[in-house]
Amino acid sequence: MKLQLKGVTKRFGTFTANDRIDLTVQPGEIHALLGENGAGKSTLMNTIYGLHSPNEGEILLDDRRVSFDGPGDAVEAGIGMVHQHFMLIPVFSVTESVMLGYEPTKSAGMIDFAEARRRVQEISARFGFDVDPDAKIEDLPVGAQQRVEIIKALSRDARVLILDEPTAVLTPQETDELIGIMRQLKEAGTSIVFITHKLREVRAIADKITVIRRGKIVGEALPDSTETQLASVMVGREVNLTTQKDPADPGDVGFSVEGLTVVSGSGKVVLDDVSLEIARGEILCVAGVDGNGQSELAEAILGLRSAVAGTITLDGTNLRRMSVKERLNAGIGFVPEDRSTDGVIPAFSITENFVLDQYDQQPYSNGIAMRPTVMREAAVEQTSRFDVRLGNVDDPISTLSGGNQQKVVLAREMSRDIRLFLASQPTRGLDVGSIEFVHRTIIEERDKGTPCLIVSTELDEVSNLADRIAVMYRGVVVGIVPGHTNRDVLGLMMAGVPVKEAYAQAQDHHTILGEADEEAQA
Is residue 324 close enough to count as binding other proteins by CB under 8 A?
yes
Considering only the stretches 113-121, 132-140, 325-333, 504-512, report the one whose residues sit in contact with other proteins under the rule CB under 8 A. Answer: 325-333
Burial class of residue 256 (count of CB atoms within 10 Å of its CB; 0-12, 13-18, 19+): middle
In the complex, the smallest distance separating the C-beta of residue 480 from other proteins, rounded to whole angstroms, is 27
User: Can you tell me which of 370, 380, 499, 512 binds other proteins, judged by CB under 8 A?
Assistant: 370
In sequence order, what are the residues at sequence separation of 6 or more whose Cβ sits closer than 8 angstroms to the Cβ of residue 366? none
* Residue 240 to residue 428: CA distance in whole angstroms: 18
Q: Nearest Cα to 1, choosing from 69, 66, 58?
A: 66
Whole-number Å distance between alpha carbons of 274 and 259: 5
Cβ closer to other proteins: 184 or 399?
Answer: 399
DSSP lists the bridge partners of residue 318 as 313
CA dihedral 22, 23, 24, 30 (to 10 degrees): 170
In the bound state with other proteins, the residue whose beta carbon lies nearer, of 12 and 102, is 12
Site size for other proteins, by CB under 8 A? 34
Q: Which is nearer to other proteins, 358 or 457 (CB)?
A: 358
Strand partners, 470: 286, 480
> Do 423 and 444 form a contact (C-beta atoms < 8 A)?
no
Q: How many residues does the structure list for the chain? A: 522
**Closest distance between other proteins and the C-beta of residue 342, in Å?**
4
Query: 242 vs 362, which CB is nearer to other proteins?
Result: 362
Q: Which CB atom, from 82 or from 344, has the smaller least distance to other proteins?
A: 344
d(Cα 346, Cα 355) in Å, to the nearest integer? 14
Q: Shortest CA distance to 113 belongs to which of 93, 131, 127, 132?
A: 93
For other proteins, the closer CB: 367 or 391: 367
Distance CA(190)–CA(30), nearest Å, equals: 9
Q: Minimal distance in Å, beta carbon 291 to other proteins?
A: 15
Binding mask 14-43 for other proteins (x = CB under 8 A): xx----------------------------
**In contact, 3 and 61? CB cutoff 8 Å:** yes
Rounded to a whole number of angstroms, the minimum distance from the CB of residue 368 to other proteins is: 6
Comparing CB distances to other proteins, the nearer of 260 and 355 is 355
Binding range to other proteins, per CB under 8 A, among 44-52, 120-128, 329-337, 449-457: 329-337
* Among 75-83, 98-106, 287-295, 318-326, the segment contacting other proteins (CB under 8 A): 318-326
- Find the shortest distance in angstroms from Cβ 14 to other proteins: 6
- State residue 506 phi and psi, 5-degree precision: -65, -30
CB 386 → other proteins: shortest distance, Å? Answer: 18
With a CB cutoff of 8 Å and minimum separation 6, the contacts of 393 are 349, 350, 351, 354, 376, 379, 380, 383
Our finding on whether 302 is near other proteins (CB under 8 A) is: yes
Among 34, 199, 328, 453, binds other proteins (CB under 8 A): 328
Question: Cβ(140)–Cβ(132) under 8 Å?
Answer: no
**369 contacts other proteins (rule: CB under 8 A):** yes
- At its nearest, how many Å lie between other proteins and the CB of residue 324? 4
Whether the CB-CB separation of 61 and 238 falls below 8 Å is answered with no
Task: With H, G, I as helix, E, B as strand and everything else as coil, classify residue 226.
Answer: coil
One-letter amino acid for residue 505 of the chain = Q
Report yes or no: 262 and 307 within 8 Å, Cβ to Cβ.
yes
Interaction residues for other proteins, span 334-363 (CB under 8 A): 334, 336, 340-348, 352, 356-357, 359-360
Q: Which is nearer to other proteins, 34 or 379 (CB)?
A: 379
Please state the closest distance from residue 36 (CB atom) to other proteins, in A: 19
Residue whose CB is less far from other proteins, 121 or 398: 398
Q: Which is nearer to other proteins, 360 or 458 (CB)?
A: 360
**8 A C-beta contact, residue 254 and residue 58:** no
Binding site for other proteins (CB under 8 A): 12-15, 302, 304, 323-325, 327-329, 334, 336, 340-348, 352, 356-357, 359-360, 365, 367-370, 372
